[in-house]
Structures are given as C-alpha cells and as structure tokens.
C-alpha cells in the first residue's frame, strides 16, 4: 500500500526524492517518538506517577545537553551539505568539523553533569539514572542526521535506526517489571540511540566516501559561526519547552512531573508526525529560494496550508478525545493528565505553523537575527511565566505557559513575514 502511494506521488525526480525522504524520515520519527509512545502505557503503570516523573525529570535535564551538542547543525550543516553535495572534499570538511565540535561539546556537557551530581542532592540521590540517560547524548552525537538530510538520502539509515531502537524497546517490556527496574529504562533507551549512531557512521563512510580527519581551526570556526543563530534559537526554545518540566520538578515533586510528562509525551508524539515533513522539506525550500525566491515562497505557503490543516484536525481530535486517550494510554492513575492534555491539545498545530514561518521561511530567507530575537523574547517570557504560575498552579501552570509562549512565537513570526511581504510589495 505504501509503495503504491509513493509511486502515485512520484512523477518527477524532485517529487520522488521528496517522497522517499518523507517516508524515510517518517520511519526515523517512528523510532524516536512512536516507539517510546508504545512503552508509555506500560511504563506509566509499572513505574507509577512518581518514578515515571523521575525518569521524565532526568530526560528533561539531559535534554539540555542534547541541545548543546546539536548546536544548530541539524539546520546549518544540513543547508551546507545540500549546497555542496557534489563536492566530496567540501563534504568531508563539513562532516569532520561538525563531528569534532559535537564531540568537544559532549565532553564539556559530561563534565558539567558530573559537577551537578556532586553538588546537588536532587541529582546525587539518583546519579546512576542521570549518567545512564546521558547515553542518549552520545547516540545523537554519533548520528549525523544532518549529513543524510543534506544529501537527501535518508533511506540508507532509516531502517537500521528503527530496527536498533525497536530491538531495545522490546527489551523494556522484558526487563522492566516494577519500579525497582527503573534503571533499565535509560539503559535500553540509550543503547538504542548508540547502536543506531554507530551504524549510521558506517553507512556514511560506505555510501558517501566519508573519511575521518582532523580539521583546521578556520573550518571549525566557520561552522561555529554559521550555526550560532540556530544554536541560540535552540537554547531559547529549550527555555520554554524543556525548562518547563525542569522548573516543574524543582518547585513540585516527581508525582506532579509524572502527570505532566505523561500528557506531554502524547503531545510530543503527535507533534512528531509533522517532523519528517519538516526535515525533508527544509533543504528543498532552501534550494528553491536560492534559485527563485518567489517560487520558493509560493511552495512554502502551499505547504503551510496542507501541513497546517492536517495538524489542526489532529489537535481538534486531541482536545475532543482527551479523556478517552488518557484512559486508554495512561490508565486511571493519570486522570489529572486529562486537563493538561486539553490545555496543550492545540500545540501540535501551533508549533507546526511556527516551524513553517520560522525555520522553513525565515531561516531560508536569511532572517536569522529576527528569528533568534523572537525566540529569545519567548524564552524570557516563558521562564517568567513558569516562575510565576508553576509555584501556584503546578502542572496546570506549566501547560498554560507552554500554550501562551508557543502561540506568541507563531504570531510574532507570522506578523514579521506579513510586514516583510508588504514592504516588498
């Protein structure tokens, strides 16, 4: 059925490449989002709200290090690889410089994690959990997804990625029997990322002739500068996404974090449906805008209508069926998550539109500074709202904060593009 659908769409080389990448990236997202979602109904019941919340807090903490090591290369390096895809020497330079930077940032992150564990009781009490969860960072550093995106050849590693993570997902059901088995969760999750990362490097070397060699400071400096605005944007986004869970954990307890994280996992899974389309379309829009600005914008606006409409329908379904979804996936212990899911139900639609306005259009048009400013403002507002609302309203305050800030980002980006188009006209 999927093959017939692909063949129907693929009537040009461009469409064949795009369709293939979307399907391949869909498989990757299935491994990254949907496979963990399969374990949620099991883990929330076996671990209970408190221990599930503890795992979520550890994941949120390690999430900062993932953002630091990603740096922004998933967009900046993707764009450069896409531009120089026919230049083997340049591809090797980009690949090695980016991997050296990521390895160094990972080492710094690990040292900082050790300092956290030694300094604060909240981390030292469960130090094994944080160290094992850090394995996800190693796996993400090893996996050069930006290389395969830029080359528009995602199919080479999609199936290996999902196979590795599916294998370790099955082990979660086999080894996690009660809350005392909590350490198996980060261990198996991290192993899935690491195995996929190691194999992807093998594929990169075999298919693209990648050779490993140290790069000059000049090349490393160029990559750092090129990815800087995206990095600051990613840090800003984390301050009103990952930080909400972190702040919630600081002001409340693991049980409250468990209620919020369970609802948030569902939201993240639905948001993840759009991500393959976002990743596949980014280099295509970049090429179109470079060759013909108006054609690229026209393509992006049509994509916005299609993707936005689809995600709006999904958000409406989340809102109207929140109680059924929570009872089915989470169980009776998580009735408090119903209200949270309803509050956050429209985030998949809102975030999809902000991605199109910001990442797909603003970044490809070169509006890096404006893009970054909007996200920095949103980050400051998000932190302030969290500090005001979370101590009083706890998980409800966190959910409301996310809804307000994501809506603000989307509106600001839309208005910026609207005024820019009017000025050009």
Over residues 177-231, the pLDDT tens digits come to 888 889 998 998 898 889 888 988 888 888 888 888 888 888 888 888 888 877 8
Burial of 392 (0-12, 13-18, 19+ CB in 10 A): exposed
192 and 52 within one domain? yes
383 and 407 within one domain? yes
Token pair of 243, please? Answer: 């930080």
110 and 41 within one domain? yes
Nearest to 264 by CA among 377, 351, 193, 196: 351
Distances in whole angstroms, Cα of residue 277 to Cα of each of 284, 355, 393:
11, 11, 36
Q: Give Cα 277 to chain centroid, integer Å.
A: 13
- pLDDT, position 8: 43
Residue span of the structural domain in which 338 resides:
233-425
How far apart, in whole angstroms, are the C-alpha atoms of residue 112 and residue 182? 24
pLDDT in tens, 365-407: 888 888 888 888 888 898 899 899 999 989 999 999 999 999 9
* Phi then psi dihedrals of residue 93, to 5 deg: -65, -50
pTM of the model: 0.69
pLDDT in tens, 52-89: 888 888 888 898 898 889 887 877 888 888 788 788 88
pLDDT in tens, 273-323: 787 777 777 777 777 787 777 877 888 888 888 888 999 999 999 999 999
357 and 323 within one domain? yes
Domain total in the chain: 2
268 and 192 within one domain? no
Is the confidence at residue 9, as pLDDT, over 70? no
Q: Which of 201, 226, 251 is at the close of a domain?
A: 226
Judged by average pLDDT, the poorest of 7-11, 31-35, 61-65, 89-93 is 7-11
323 and 186 within one domain? no
Nearest to 284 by CA among 83, 30, 29: 83
Distances in whole angstroms, Cα of residue 240 to Cα of each of 70, 152, 199, 401:
18, 31, 33, 8
Please check whether residue 6 is in contact with residue 23, taking contact to mean a CB–CB distance below 8 angstroms.
yes
Q: Which of 226, 250, 285 is at the close of a domain?
A: 226
How far apart, in whole angstroms, are the C-alpha atoms of residue 261 and residue 265? 6
Residue 11 lies in a domain: no
- pLDDT, position 243: 74
331 and 210 within one domain? no
301 and 410 within one domain? yes
């Amino acid at each position: 059925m999927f093959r017939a659908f692909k063949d129907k769409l693929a009537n040009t080389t461009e469409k064949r490449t795009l369709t293939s990448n979307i399907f391949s990236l869909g498989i990757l997202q299935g491994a990254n989002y949907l496979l963990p979602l399969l374990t949620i109904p099991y883990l929330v019941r076996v671990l209970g709200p408190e221990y599930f919340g503890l795992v979520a807090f550890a994941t949120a903490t390690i999430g900062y290090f993932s953002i630091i090591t990603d740096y922004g290369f998933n967009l900046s390096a993707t764009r450069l690889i896409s531009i120089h895809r026919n230049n083997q020497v340049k591809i090797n330079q980009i690949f090695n410089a980016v991997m050296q930077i990521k390895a160094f940032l990972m080492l710094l992150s690990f040292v900082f994690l050790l300092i956290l564990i030694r300094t604060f009781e909240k981390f030292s009490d469960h130090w094994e959990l944080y160290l094992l969860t850090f394995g996800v960072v190693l796996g993400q550093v090893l996996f050069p997804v930006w290389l395969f995106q830029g080359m528009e050849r995602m199919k080479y590693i999609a199936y290996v990625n999902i196979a590795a993570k599916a294998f370790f997902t099955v082990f979660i059901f086999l080894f996690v029997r009660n809350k005392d088995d909590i350490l198996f969760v980060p261990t198996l999750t991290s192993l899935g990322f690491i195995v996929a990362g190691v194999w992807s490097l093998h594929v990169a070397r075999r298919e693209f002739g990648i050779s490993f060699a140290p790069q000059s400071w000049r090349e490393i400096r160029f990559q750092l500068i090129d990815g800087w605005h995206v990095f600051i944007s990613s840090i800003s986004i984390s301050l009103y996404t990952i930080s909400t869970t972190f702040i919630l954990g600081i002001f409340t307890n693991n049980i409250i974090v468990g209620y919020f994280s369970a609802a948030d996992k569902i939201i993240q899974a639905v948001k993840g449906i759009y991500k393959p389309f976002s990743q596949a379309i980014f280099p295509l829009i970049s090429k179109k805008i470079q060759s013909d600005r108006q054609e690229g914008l026209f393509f992006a606006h049509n994509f916005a209508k299609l993707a936005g409409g689809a995600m709006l329908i999904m958000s409406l379904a989340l809102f109207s069926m929140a109680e059924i979804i929570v009872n089915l996936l989470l169980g009776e212990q998580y009735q408090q998550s119903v209200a949270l899911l309803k509050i956050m139900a429209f985030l998949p639609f809102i975030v999809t539109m902000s991605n199109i306005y910001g990442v797909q259009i603003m970044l490809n048009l070169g509006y890096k500074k404006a893009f970054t400013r909007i996200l920095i403002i949103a980050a400051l507002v998000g932190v302030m709202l969290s500090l005001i609302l979370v101590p009083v309203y706890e998980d409800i305050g966190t959910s409301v904060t996310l809804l307000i800030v994501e809506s603000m980002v989307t509106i600001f980006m839309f208005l910026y593009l609207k005024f820019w188009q009017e000025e050009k006209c």
